[in-house]
């Protein structure tokens, strides 16, 4: 029995990935639901993590790079008193310690961890060394030196403490490992810790509240399903917008820089979302010091918004 024909679909799906499913498998399940010819996700979530996984279909994949660099927000459960080999639930217990810390000590510790810092990625990560992911080496019992990376912790707050579990919320820069953060919290408190659960709640300006589960999507008919797709330019909501006239759009689409005639608000240098007469999204452009808007990435066709 053959599969439905793959279709050309352009749009963004905000998927709520379940715990226990890889990001790659979640992507393929979403792709099959829509029979989308081209799909990709932005920012892998660990197998044990749940939450927001933006899935890009068709032309949306052109504009997804910004999300990889975007800040991320998480809710996490940190289990004090137990260290594991992977800093999360997957690993073996390597040490246990009695927990004797006060609420004040916890809050002071979290506040001290705000800001820019150097973080050494864990061995159980997808970072590659000589072409091999570190987790493959780690599973063979091999540990190699990893370079510390600069990360930024913007918010780190305690929602509640229940026995030895801390329910925290984190907003951080790209490349931050929450497992490593959980382990460091335990070290600073002198009792050790590991990450018991993780849920991503935001990627840049995209929020978990607007996401959909695979089970909910599977229950929809085709028109309901496609109504859950966000337009391509939702990926770029953090950028200012600029409108071009019909003539300017024609030149812009041919790779020519143009001087926008109808926008006083797009005079600053930088990257913009570009629309034809405020209606059709046509791509991104860069305003430079010569007061011209240069094409960066363009849609294969205009999409009315």
Collapsing DSSP to helix, strand or coil, 180 comes out as helix
51, 52, 55, 60 alpha-carbon torsion, rounded to 10° = 180
Q: Which residue has the tokens 């329910």?
A: 167
Cross-strand bridge partners of residue 7 = 36
Packed helices 103-112 and 178-189: angle between N→C axes, nearest 10 degrees: 130
In degrees and rounded to multiples of 5, residue 156 shows phi and psi of -150, 100
Give, in order, the Cα–Cα distances in Å from 238 to each of 115, 131, 206, 263: 22, 34, 10, 18
Residue of 72, 77, 177 lying closest to 118 (CA atoms): 177
Collapsing DSSP to helix, strand or coil, 239 comes out as coil
Cβ neighbours of residue 251 closer than 8 Å, sequence gap 6 or more? 258
The CA distance from 37 to 15, in Å, is 18
269, 275, 277, 278 alpha-carbon torsion, rounded to 10° = -100
Q: Is 269 considered catalytic here? A: no
The answer to whether the CB of 35 falls within 8 A of the CB of 256 is: no
Q: How far is C-alpha 150 from the chain's CA centre? A: 18
In degrees and rounded to multiples of 5, residue 199 shows phi and psi of -135, 125
Q: Tell me which of 16, 46, 88, 233 is the catalytic residue.
A: 46
The CA distance from 192 to 89, in Å, is 14
Q: Tokens standing for 173? A: 């820069």
Known catalytic residues are 46
């Amino acid at each position: 029995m053959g599969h439905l024909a793959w279709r050309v679909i352009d749009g963004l799906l905000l998927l709520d990935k379940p715990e226990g499913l890889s990001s790659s498998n979640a992507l393929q399940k979403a792709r099959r639901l829509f029979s989308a010819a081209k799909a990709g996700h932005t920012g892998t979530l660990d197998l044990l993590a749940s939450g927001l996984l933006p899935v890009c279909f068709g032309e949306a994949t052109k504009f997804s790079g910004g999300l990889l660099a975007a800040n991320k927000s998480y809710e996490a459960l940190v289990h004090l008193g137990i260290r594991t080999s992977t800093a999360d639930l997957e690993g073996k217990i390597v040490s246990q310690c009695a927990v004797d810390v006060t609420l004040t000590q916890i809050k002071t510790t979290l506040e001290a961890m705000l800001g820019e810092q150097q973080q050494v990625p864990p061995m159980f990560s997808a970072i590659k060394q000589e072409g091999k992911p570190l987790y493959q080496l780690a599973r063979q019992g091999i540990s190699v030196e990893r370079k510390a990376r600069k990360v930024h912790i913007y918010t780190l707050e305690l929602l509640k403490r229940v026995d030895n579990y801390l329910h925290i919320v984190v907003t951080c820069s790209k490349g931050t490992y929450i497992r490593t953060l959980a382990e460091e919290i335990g070290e600073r408190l002198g009792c050790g810790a590991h990450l018991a659960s993780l849920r991503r709640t935001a990627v840049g300006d995209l929020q978990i509240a607007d996401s959909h589960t695979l089970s909910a999507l599977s229950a929809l008919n085709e028109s309901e399903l496609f109504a859950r797709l966000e337009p391509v330019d939702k990926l770029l909501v953090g950028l200012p917008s600029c409108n071009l006239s019909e003539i300017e759009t024609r030149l812009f689409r041919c790779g020519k820089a143009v001087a926008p005639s109808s926008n006083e608000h797009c005079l600053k240098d930088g990257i913009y979302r570009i629309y034809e007469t405020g209606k059709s999204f046509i791509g991104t452009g860069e305003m430079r010091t010569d007061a011209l808007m240069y094409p960066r990435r363009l849609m294969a066709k205009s999409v009315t918004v």
